[in-house]
Every structure is written in C-alpha cells, then in structure tokens.
Amino acid sequence: MWLKVRSSQVFNLFQIIKLYFIRKVLNLGPLKNPLFRFSIIFVFLLILSGLTFIIYTFFEGIENQTAGIRLILTVYTVTILLWTLIIFIFVKMLFMKSTDFLKLTFTFPVTMQERNTALLIFEMAISILLISILSSSVIISLVIKYHFQFLPQLITCIFFTSITAYLLLQVVTKILLYIINIFKLVKLKDVFIIIFFSLIFFELYANSRFIVEDIILSYLDHKDPSFHIAIIWPWIMWNSNLFITSLIFLAVSICFVILVIIIPDNSYMSSQKYVYVSIRKKQINLFTSYLYSIMRKEDTMNYVAISYLVFFILFANGYHEYLLYSLLPIAFNGIYHFVNTNPLRKLTQQIDYSVLRDYIYLIGSQLINIVFYSIPMLICMVVLGLFDRHSIEALAVIVVSVLMFSLVGILFPPYEDNPFSIMISFFIIFSLGIFLAFMIFILQLSVLYNIILFMMLVCMVVYLSMLGLVKLKEESF
C-alpha cells in the first residue's frame, strides 16, 4: 500500500515530459533552423574527433595493456563520480526553478509518487546522457583500439558508478528535504541543498587525490588497490565477474529507487518567487524596474548565499587568486533576467521600444546587482591586500559571463522556468566554448592576437544578443 506507483501512469508522464522537451526545447530559438542544428552537430563531432585522437594516441603509448587500461579506468571512475556530482548539482539548480513547468502535471490523475518517479527517470536519463557524452571519447578510442575487450570494465566504471551515485545523491536529497519540511524551513530548501552538495563535492574533490595516489601506488607495487567506496564497482568486478556485479548493481539500484519513491516530497510546490522590497514610487523608471526585477527575485538571494559560501571556502583554503570567481553563480542568474523582464518589455514595445536601450538596461541592471553584492567581498580583499591582477582578470571574466548568460537567456528564453531550454543552451554554449578553446590551443597565438580574438568574440556576443532582441520583437508583432 505504501508504494502507489502505476507503471502505465509513470510511462505516460514520462512521455509528456519528453514531448514537452522535444516541442519546447529542441524547437526553440535558433534550433528551429536546420542549418544551425547541423552546425552544432558538426562542431560537436569536431570536438569529439579531436579528443578521441588525443586519447587514442595516449592509449598507443601504454606498454602493459591490461594492467595499464585497468589503472586508467579505475582512476577514471573517481573522475566519473565527481562529474556525476557536478551534473547532479547542475540538474538540481535547474529544477529549483521548475515549479511553473511542473504545474502542468498537477491537474493529471496521478499520485505524487508517480510524478516523482517519472521526474526521477527523466533526471536520470539526462544524467546518463551527459555522462555518456563526457565519456564518449574514452569509450570510442578504447573500442577502436581494443574492440570489446574492455567493455565490461567500461560498463562498471562509467555507467554503474554514475547511476548508483546519482540514485544515492537523490536519496540523500529526499531525506534532507524531509528533515527541512519537518523544521518548516521550506524557503531555504534550495540554498540548503546546493550548499550541502557543494560541500560534499569539495570534500570528495580533496579526497580524490589521495584515492588516486593509492590506486597508482598499488599499480606500481603490482597489487590490487585497497577498497574505497568511490571505486566499489571496479573493485567488485575484479573480485568476481560482470554477471555478479550486475546482480549486485540491480539490487542496490532497486533499493535506492524504492527509497526515492516512498520518501514524501512536496519540494516543487512552492509558489512565492519574490521577496518584499520597499520601493519609493518617485524613483521608479524603466531601469529601476529592471533592477528591482533581478534584486527582488528569491533565486538571486539563493545565488548570493551560494556565492558567499564559495568565497569563504576559497578564502579558507588559500585560493586567493580565485576569490572573485565566486561571483559566477550571481552572473548565472542572468539567464533568467530576459524572461523576468519580459512583461516590462511587452509594455515598452507598445510605446517606444529601443533594442539598444533594452540591452543596456538588461546588462546594466545585472552589473549593478553584482557590484552591489560584491562590495563586502571587495572591501575584505582590499583591506587584506588580496586585490591584485588576478582580481581584475576575474572581474573581466564576470562581465563576459554576464554578456554570455544574457545571450543564452535571449537565444533560448526559459519561459515558464523551463529548465530544459537552459540545459540545451548550456550544451550549445559549452560546445562552442570548448571548440574555441581547442582552436586557440591549436593556433598558439601571441597574447596580443589572443586579446584581439577575445575582443572580437565579445563584440560577436553583444551583436548576436541585440540581433536576438530584434528577432524577438519582430516575432511578438
């Protein structure tokens, strides 16, 4: 009785979410254009070939093949674990804002458990897809070089690790949310969850070095590495075979899935989006409206809290040159600024709309918001004498990030807090970013040429954003 999940309903819900994904995401903005789709696939294939070549060349140089590949895959398992955690935090950050999107499921004759199961499957599918994309160059180069000799190791190291890690993280999230609900701290749930998993990530990242060192030392001593929970699946595989490992994997996964489904979860039910800020009516104009739109957002407060946590962690660990990069989460919020200010835009479009003014307000309000929240950080750094060349570089990166995230928000507007459009836009922007980084690496240009290239890219970002605003204006009429 405690498990009220009808597989047909879960399947139907999953189909609806998938349909929503195809219609509202894969046909959004520039993705409507087949030429753009083709270009993105082409760029992705270029990156994949480059990485595959590099990894293939690396495998060519390995002398003791079986032991060597086993060592590499075991170390890679630790990397997969870290990537799973990053993807998990990323997906949670996206679904933080998905209340509006999930409203469509509220009217369906399904139980909360069925809804959560369908969502879990969808989140898992996205996670596995991302892990597969990240690992594709390793998998392809291994299959080209050794055919299917290392396939069982690949399955256990990459897929078993990422799936169980994701499910375990999901169980921990559910337990945390349950405790948060008991203490009536629902308002703080997002920030609490993100901070909790960020801390786990930092801890795991710090420990991963020791695990990797231990694995390498065991390899050099011609011994099996000692047991670590991080490499549990390769470890079981060494001591048994693929069949037994798969059975254990299935049993563990089923237990986790049941736990995820039965722990009650109402976390996607909150409705309040803005915090109250006293506004003097005399000072209201279009720019201040843009500014209040971003400053009053409850999510902005969450991102500010995350930024300050990252700042303190970096400060405590002595990474002083990276301190101002902690402002990146606030810059990330810029993705939603276009959609948040859309009602204001619709109003001005009926009176005297100017694309240039709209863009300046869009960027200006975000920069003022970032400057406002970074003042305590900057004072702290100046007083302690930590403000140097690296800080100026970090500020330049933040400004460029604001421009980039705004472009993403304009090209793929996350209407109704649609988390999938952000995923797609991130995928495209990161593909292009990696491609450009690869290109700069190949060209080996001087500093001056790199600065010129960088400035050209910034100009391109500004131009494309404004072009996007013009197109959206034309579409709205």
User: Cβ–Cβ contacts within 10 Å for residue 475, how many?
Assistant: 7
Least distance from another protein to the Cβ atom of residue 432, Å: 9
Phi, then psi, of 222 in degrees rounded to 5? 60, 40
Least distance from another protein to the Cβ atom of residue 64, Å: 18
**Residue 30 or 364 with smaller CB distance to another protein:** 30
264-323 positions binding another protein, by CB under 8 A: none
Tell the residue number behind the tokens 């990323």, with chain if given: 90
Least distance from another protein to the Cβ atom of residue 160, Å: 32
Q: Give exposure, 96-114, as e/b (b: 16+ Cβ within 10 Å).
A: bbbbebbeebeeeebeebb
Tell the residue number behind the tokens 């400060």, with chain if given: 315
Query: Residues in the chain, how many?
Result: 477
377-436 positions binding another protein, by CB under 8 A: 435-436
Q: How many residues bind another protein (CB under 8 A)?
A: 20
Pick from 43, 102, 263, 305 the residue near another protein by CB under 8 A.
Answer: 43
Q: Is there a contact between 150 and 73 (Cβ–Cβ < 8 Å)?
A: yes
Q: Is there a contact between 308 and 326 (Cβ–Cβ < 8 Å)?
A: yes
Q: Does 350 bind another protein (CB under 8 A)?
A: no
Pick from 15, 33, 49, 476 the residue near another protein by CB under 8 A.
Answer: 49
Least distance from another protein to the Cβ atom of residue 460, Å: 6
Q: What is the residue type of 449?
A: Y
3-state helix, strand, coil in the chain (%, to 5): 85, 0, 15
Structure tokens at 456: 């050209």
Pick from 19, 129, 439, 451 the residue near another protein by CB under 8 A.
Answer: 439
**Residue 50 or 68 with smaller CB distance to another protein:** 50
Structure tokens at 422: 């952000």
Q: Does 68 bind another protein (CB under 8 A)?
A: no
Q: Does 354 bind another protein (CB under 8 A)?
A: no
CA distances (Å), origin 278, targets 187, 282, 295, 368, 373: 20, 12, 12, 18, 18
Least distance from another protein to the Cβ atom of residue 57, Å: 8
Residue 350 is inside which H or E element, if any? none
C-alpha closest to that of 338 among 471, 168, 159, 204: 471
Q: Does 438 bind another protein (CB under 8 A)?
A: yes
Taking the C-alpha atoms of residue 419 and residue 425, their distance in angstroms, rounded to an integer, is 10
Taking the C-alpha atoms of residue 47 and residue 88, their distance in angstroms, rounded to an integer, is 24
Pick from 34, 60, 109, 183 the residue near another protein by CB under 8 A.
Answer: 60
Q: Does 463 bind another protein (CB under 8 A)?
A: yes
Tell the residue number behind the tokens 């999901």, with chain if given: 170
23-42 positions binding another protein, by CB under 8 A: 39, 42
Least distance from another protein to the Cβ atom of residue 296, Å: 36
**Residue 27 or 444 with smaller CB distance to another protein:** 444
Least distance from another protein to the Cβ atom of residue 374, Å: 32
**Residue 51 or 191 with smaller CB distance to another protein:** 51
441-460 positions binding another protein, by CB under 8 A: 442-445, 456, 460
Taking the C-alpha atoms of residue 333 and residue 224, their distance in angstroms, rounded to an integer, is 46
Structure tokens at 312: 């303190």
**Residue 42 or 108 with smaller CB distance to another protein:** 42
Pick from 53, 58, 210, 372 the residue near another protein by CB under 8 A.
Answer: 53
Contact residues: another protein, CB under 8 A: 39, 42-43, 46, 49-50, 53, 60, 435-436, 438-439, 442-445, 456, 460, 463-464
